[in-house]
């Protein structure tokens, strides 16, 4: 089909060129008019055929019909030219008007109908109103021009018959139809027509109007003569119009393959507003201004009416424009508000869900993807309850039903919602009833993921009631559970028990290896306790190295003893501390509440008292609380209070026990022993208060008082009883004293104040001092030795017995413990053991002193074993200062007299 159209276009060009050439060479006359009309008829026929052929190429039904109607319009002109020639051939001259003019006038409505049939852009009512105002404005503006220059002059022509005047005026009026058509093409045609076909078709219509205006002007001015060059020139715009119309159809047919829109398609991008309405207004007012210069022309009323109508149209257009601007501003504000709301909803931390009365999701914000991992489109039209934890659904339905019944306020639901990854998230949801709102018509659920806050709250709650190091219950939680357990015990009659556990050697680990290692030991102990007790029991860290186990529903005392023994065994198992095994051990106090009459504090105190008694009895054991234990502890507490006051009041006195040379029976020294002269209880022996002084640390100030007093007395006795070597004084130093930072300074100060020679002072330490840290003990004792004093190792053989360390100790005296002296009388092995100790002292060049000689046979055996020195009740009991002074006077006085 493309080839015929190309041939037709080529013929049109050839005919048009021939017409122009004829005009150029001045060919005129009636014969030329006939030739011109024949060529025009041929042109219009070819144009009609081209457009009709092109319409068959159109893919859109509306475009196909429109081009067909335009082709028929061109065919109407062809019919007019044919009739014009036939009438002329029959009558010899074609009159005006004739039947041909009827055919010519059909062209105009057909072209307009074709333009209005083209696919149109879909418009809102306001846009359609603006279109028709612009179209009418353009038509009225063009009508004003045509009225002034053509319509009125033709209608008022005196030479024309009424019919001729009517038909002559009909052509300019029809041109108004073409103006409306041009306006339609410019303002209304859809992009489905294409840019170039639109431009070419519009140009064809404009060219046709130019031809009409030229013919009308020639008729009005009386210059129209058939066949004359000027008349032939007036037909050139028609030739151009036919050529452009055919070319427009050809281009549209070529572009038809790209057209995909149907007659109802809408334009994606609006075409800029045409300037035709504004141009027509300018022309209308311009004609009125033109006519106002000079004499007032006839038909001025029509001009004024047209300009007034233009003015009204302009005002109406402005009103519509203002309203449209307001609508656009409102729409823009709404779009901004919607965009802002959409952005807030998409980026909000809350999830907004709308459900209907049966729980189906009708709206879901995109934030659900970020918060719960579900895609919004997957949640829509599903049951919301399928995402709720099964244990929370019944309660959730109940609260939703409450929300449905109330029209105001909000209902808060705390439940668990399933995340897409399967985890359950704690969620707080606020429910608002908007079922009555037609824009919502549902329950609005605003959900917030509360998991992190709940987790943090649980952590804080756990930290508030659990020990941060071991994870066991802390004191607050233990006391709370104990109080509730006591209430239950009273109600059901089942006894409960408290096991109070205290680590025995934890302070040694903590002080020697550091608190970090101590914390590791506490964690290990807590793990062992968990493995021993039942899950229903409460294990707690009471503080420091103290642990408590609460056991409910105790069946028998044997059950408690079994648990205590398991705990003791667990703590006796060595701990691996910094690559070496360390034994800690523990002591346990047991308190039972059978009737629930005790308070929580009383039960804990009773268990603590029993534990303390167990430690006193040797540690590493359990002790069951008895009623008299509390009174004993109270006595101990009173003793401690009195002990502190006794130090302040200087209620302590020093007694001395002589040390004899077993070879000569001579007194070589004195051991200082402290006694407490209690105001109410009288003289108290060391065994009653020294252990408590050790525990409380009061032994440090007390020991230094004894040291100063002993040095002072020894110096006096050395002056009164000069001997060779001089008398020595032995003073016991506790572990706490040796560990105290001021120990060296205190000994140095005592020697300086009293003037006692350093080698006359013997500082006695127990062998257990070496257990904690032998290397550190050797260093501290070496510092004491550097002062010039002598050191004695007391209770040898009962504690630390490593010979590798003994030979490195800077000691001068080895004291044999009383237990070995007592064993000499009961077995031969006892004597052999003492002999071995004495031999060890000799080999290490140490002075040996036997303690606790209470019988004559012991003395004789020691002399037989060649023991150098001894002390004990058989030789002399400890005596106060006056008695010792008398003993020394008698002892040394008699020897001097002898």
Spatial distance between the Cα atoms of 815 and 821, rounded to a whole number of angstroms: 11
Exposed, middle or buried: residue 730 (CB in 10 Å: 0-12, 13-18, 19+)? buried
Tokens of 134: 């612009």
Tokens of 860: 């004789």
**441 and 434 Cβ atoms separated by less than 8 Å:** yes
Region of poorest pLDDT, from 565-574, 649-658, 800-809, 810-819: 800-809
Confidence of residue 257 (pLDDT cuts 50, 70, 90): low
**Residue-level pLDDT at 262:** 41
Q: Which helix (H) or strand (E) holds 361?
A: strand 361-364
Q: Which residues contact 592 (CB under 8 A, 6 or more apart)?
A: 495, 496, 497, 498, 554, 557, 560, 624, 625
**Residue-level pLDDT at 714:** 95
Spatial distance between the Cα atoms of 896 and 898, rounded to a whole number of angstroms: 5
Region of poorest pLDDT, from 25-29, 396-400, 695-699: 25-29
Please state the rounded mean pLDDT for residues 374-403.
89
Confidence of residue 157 (pLDDT cuts 50, 70, 90): low
Confidence check: pLDDT of 300 > 70: no
Percent of the chain scored above 90 by pLDDT?
A: 23
**Residue-level pLDDT at 298:** 56
Please state the rounded mean pLDDT for residues 211-234.
62
Signed CA dihedral, 187, 191, 195, 199: sign only? negative
Q: Are strands 351-355 and 538-543 parallel, antiparallel or unpaired?
A: unpaired
**Residue-level pLDDT at 273:** 43
Left if phi > 0, otherwise alpha if psi is -120 to 50, otherwise beta: which for 307? alpha
Instruction: Tally Cβ neighbours within 10 Å of residue 782.
Output: 13
Confidence check: pLDDT of 520 > 80: yes
Confidence of residue 271 (pLDDT cuts 50, 70, 90): very low
Confidence of residue 548 (pLDDT cuts 50, 70, 90): very high
**Residue-level pLDDT at 180:** 66
Confidence check: pLDDT of 439 > 80: no
Confidence of residue 264 (pLDDT cuts 50, 70, 90): very low
Confidence of residue 268 (pLDDT cuts 50, 70, 90): very low
Tokens of 369: 């993807």
Spatial distance between the Cα atoms of 751 and 734, rounded to a whole number of angstroms: 18
Confidence check: pLDDT of 188 > 60: no
Q: Mean pLDDT of all residues in the chain? A: 79
Q: Are strands 790-796 and 761-766 parallel, antiparallel or unpaired?
A: parallel
Tell me the pLDDT tens digit for each residue of 68-108.
Answer: 888 888 888 888 878 877 887 777 666 767 888 788 888 88
Confidence check: pLDDT of 718 > 90: yes
Please state the rounded mean pLDDT for residues 578-603.
82
HSE of 454 in the Cβ direction (CA atoms, 13 Å)?
12
> Which one is predicted more confidently, 561 or 118?
561
Tell me the pLDDT tens digit for each residue of 864-895.
Answer: 999 999 999 999 999 999 999 999 999 987 54
Tell me the pLDDT tens digit for each residue of 469-494.
Answer: 998 999 989 999 999 888 888 877 77
- Rounded to the nearest 10 degrees, the angle between the axes of helix 162-187 and helix 195-221 is 160
**175 and 208 Cβ atoms separated by less than 8 Å:** no
Confidence check: pLDDT of 205 > 90: no
Tokens of 236: 């050139």
| Partners of 446 in the β-ladder | 352, 430
Tell me the pLDDT tens digit for each residue of 776-822.
Answer: 778 888 999 999 999 998 877 665 555 666 777 889 999 988 888 88
| Partners of 790 in the β-ladder | 762
In this structure, the chain runs to a length of 898
Please state the rounded mean pLDDT for residues 259-271.
41
Confidence check: pLDDT of 269 > 50: no
Sheet strand arrangement including 361-364 = 361-364, 351-355, 442-449, 424-434, 410-418
Confidence check: pLDDT of 613 > 80: yes
What is the residue whose two structure tokens read 């002062």? 787
Secondary structure of 465-519 in HEC code, one letter for each residue: HECCCCCCECHHHHHHHHHHHHHHHHHHCCCEEEEEEEECCHHHHHHHHCHHHHH
HSE of 325 in the Cβ direction (CA atoms, 13 Å)?
6
Tell me the pLDDT tens digit for each residue of 737-781.
Answer: 888 889 999 999 999 999 999 999 999 988 766 666 677 778 888
Instruction: Tally Cβ neighbours within 10 Å of residue 156.
Output: 13
**824 and 798 Cβ atoms separated by less than 8 Å:** no
**Residue-level pLDDT at 302:** 61
Tell me the pLDDT tens digit for each residue of 451-475.
Answer: 888 877 777 777 778 888 998 999 9
């Amino acid at each position: 089909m493309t080839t015929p159209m190309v041939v037709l276009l080529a013929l049109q060009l050839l005919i048009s060129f021939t017409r122009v050439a004829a005009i150029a060479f001045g060919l005129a006359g009636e014969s030329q008019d006939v030739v011109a009309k024949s060529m025009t008829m041929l042109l219009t026929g070819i144009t009609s055929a081209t457009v009709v052929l092109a319409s068959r190429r159109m893919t859109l039904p509306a475009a196909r019909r429109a081009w067909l109607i335009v082709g028929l319009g061109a065919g109407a002109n062809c019919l007019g030219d044919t009739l014009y020639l036939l009438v002329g051939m029959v009558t010899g001259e074609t009159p005006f008007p004739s039947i041909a003019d009827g055919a010519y006038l059909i062209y105009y409505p057909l072209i307009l109908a074709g333009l209005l049939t083209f696919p149109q852009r879909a418009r809102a009512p306001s846009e359609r109103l603006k279109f028709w105002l612009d179209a009418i404005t353009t038509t009225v503006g063009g009508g004003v021009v045509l009225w002034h220059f053509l319509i009125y002059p033709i209608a008022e022509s005196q030479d024309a018959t009424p019919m001729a005047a009517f038909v002559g005026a009909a052509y300019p009026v029809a041109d108004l139809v073409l103006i409306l058509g041009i306006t339609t093409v410019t303002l209304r045609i859809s992009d489905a027509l294409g840019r170039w076909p639109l431009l070419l078709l519009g140009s064809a219509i404009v060219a046709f109007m130019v031809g009409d205006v030229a013919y009308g002007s020639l008729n009005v001015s009386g210059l129209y003569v058939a066949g004359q060059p000027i008349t032939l020139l007036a037909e050139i715009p028609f030739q151009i119009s036919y050529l452009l119309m055919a070319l427009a159809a050809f281009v549209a047919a070529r572009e038809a393959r790209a057209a995909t829109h149907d007659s109802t398609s809408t334009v994606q991008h609006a075409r800029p507003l045409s300037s035709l309405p504004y141009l027509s207004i300018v022309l209308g007012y311009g004609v009125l201004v033109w006519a106002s210069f000079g004499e007032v022309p006839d038909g001025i009323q029509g001009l004024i009416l047209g300009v007034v109508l233009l003015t009204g149209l302009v005002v109406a257009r402005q009103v519509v424009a203002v309203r449209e601007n307001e609508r656009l501003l409102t729409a823009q504000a709404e779009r901004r508000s919607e965009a802002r709301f959409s952005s807030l909803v998409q980026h909000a931390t809350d999830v907004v869900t709308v459900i209907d009365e049966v729980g189906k999701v009708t709206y879901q914000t995109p934030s659900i993807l970020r918060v719960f991992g579900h895609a919004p489109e997957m949640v829509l039209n599903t049951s919301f309850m399928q995402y709720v934890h099964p244990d929370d659904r019944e309660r959730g339905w109940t609260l939703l039903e409450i929300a449905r019944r109330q029209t105001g306020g909000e209902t808060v639901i705390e439940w668990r919602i399933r995340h897409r990854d399967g985890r359950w998230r704690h969620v707080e949801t606020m429910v608002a009833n908007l079922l009555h709102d037609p824009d919502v018509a549902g329950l609005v659920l605003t959900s917030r993921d509360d998991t992190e806050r709940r987790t943090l709250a649980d952590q804080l709650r756990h930290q508030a009631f659990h020990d941060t190091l071991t994870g066991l219950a802390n004191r607050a939680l233990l006391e709370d559970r104990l109080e509730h357990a006591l209430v239950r015990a009273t109600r059901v009659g089942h006894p409960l028990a408290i096991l109070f556990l205290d680590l025995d050697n934890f302070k040694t680990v903590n002080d020697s290896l550091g608190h970090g290692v101590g914390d590791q030991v506490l964690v290990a102990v807590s793990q062992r306790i968990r493995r021993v007790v039942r899950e229903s029991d409460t294990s707690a860290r009471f503080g420091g190295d103290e642990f408590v186990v609460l056991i409910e529903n105790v069946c028998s005392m044997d059950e408690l003893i079994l648990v205590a023994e398991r705990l003791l065994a667990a703590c006796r198992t060595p701990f691996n501390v910094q690559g070496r095994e360390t034994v800690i051990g523990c002591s346990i106090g047991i308190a039972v509440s059978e009737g629930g009459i005790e308070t929580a504090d009383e039960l804990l105190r009773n268990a603590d008292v029993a534990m303390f008694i167990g430690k006193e009895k040797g540690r590493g054991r359990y002790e069951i609380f008895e009623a008299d234990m509390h009174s004993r502890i109270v006595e101990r507490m009173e003793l401690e209070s009195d002990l502190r006051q006794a130090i302040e009041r200087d209620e302590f006195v020093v007694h001395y026990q002589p040390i004899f040379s077993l070879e000569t029976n001579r007194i070589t020294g004195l051991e200082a022993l402290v006694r407490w002269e209690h105001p109410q209880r009288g003289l108290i022996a060391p065994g009653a208060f020294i252990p408590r002084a050790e525990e409380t640390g009061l032994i440090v100030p007390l020991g230094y008082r004894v040291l100063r007093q002993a040095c002072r007395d020894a110096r006096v006795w050395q002056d009164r009883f000069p001997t060779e070597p001089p008398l020595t004084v032995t003073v016991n130093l506790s572990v706490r004293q040796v560990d105290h930072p001021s120990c060296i300074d205190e000994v140095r100060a005592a020697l300086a104040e009293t003037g006692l020679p350093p080698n006359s002072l013997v500082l006695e330490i127990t062998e257990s001092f070496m257990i904690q840290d032998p290397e550190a003990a050797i260093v501290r004792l070496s510092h004491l030795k550097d002062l010039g004093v002598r050191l004695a190792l007391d209770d040898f053989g009962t504690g630390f017995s490593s010979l590798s360390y003994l030979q490195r100790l800077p000691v001068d005296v080895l004291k044999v413990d009383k237990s070995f002296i007592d064993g000499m009388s009961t077995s031969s092995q006892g004597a052999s053991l003492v002999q071995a100790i004495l031999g060890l002292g000799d080999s290490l060049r140490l002075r040996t002193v036997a303690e606790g000689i209470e019988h004559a046979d012991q003395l004789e055996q020691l002399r037989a074993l060649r023991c150098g020195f001894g002390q004990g009740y058989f030789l002399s009991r400890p005596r106060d200062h006056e008695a010792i002074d008398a003993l020394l006077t008698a002892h040394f006085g008699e020897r001097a007299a002898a």
